[in-house]
Amino acid sequence: MNRKQAREAMRGKTKRENLNDPRQAQAMLENLQIATLVAGINNSLDILQKRGVKISDWDQKKRELYRLKVFGGRVYFLAADIDRKSQGE
C-alpha cells in the first residue's frame, strides 16, 4: 500500500470488500486466479481429511479425492484407491 492509499484508508475513503456479504465474497472469488482457487480448495481438503471426512468418487467408491493440481493451466484431481477392508471400515 502506498502513502496515498494509506491516507485514504485512514480517512475511510477506500472501499474494501465486506466478505461477510455473500455477493461481495462471491465476486472476489470469481476474480481470483485459478491456481489461487485450487490452493484454497486444497486447504479445505486438508481440513476435511484432518477431521476424518473421506471424499469418495461417485462412480468408484473405493477411490478418494486426495488433491487438486494445476498443470499447464488445466486442473486435475488426484485420487487414491483405498482398501477400506484393511482399514476396518
| HSE, side-chain direction, 13 A CA sphere, residue 32 | 14
Q: What is the distance between the alpha carbons of residues 55 and 18, in angstroms, rounded to a whole number?
A: 31
Quick one: how far is CA 44 from the chain centroid? 6
Same domain, 46 and 86: yes
* Shared-domain flag, residues 61 and 45: yes
CA 38 to chain centroid, in Å, comes to 5
Cα separation, 23 vs 70, whole angstroms: 27
Q: What is the mean pLDDT of residues 8-27?
A: 75
Domain limits for position 85: 34-89
pTM above 0.85, yes or no: no
Is 87 found in the same domain as 51?
yes
Domain count, the chain: 2
* pLDDT at 7 > cutoff 70: yes
- What pLDDT digit, counting tens, does each position of 30-63 carry? 989 999 999 999 999 999 999 999 899 889 888 9
Residues 50 and 15 grouped into a single domain: no
Same-domain pairing of 38 and 14: no
Give the HSE-up count for residue 69: Cα atoms under 13 Å, Cβ half-sphere.
Answer: 6
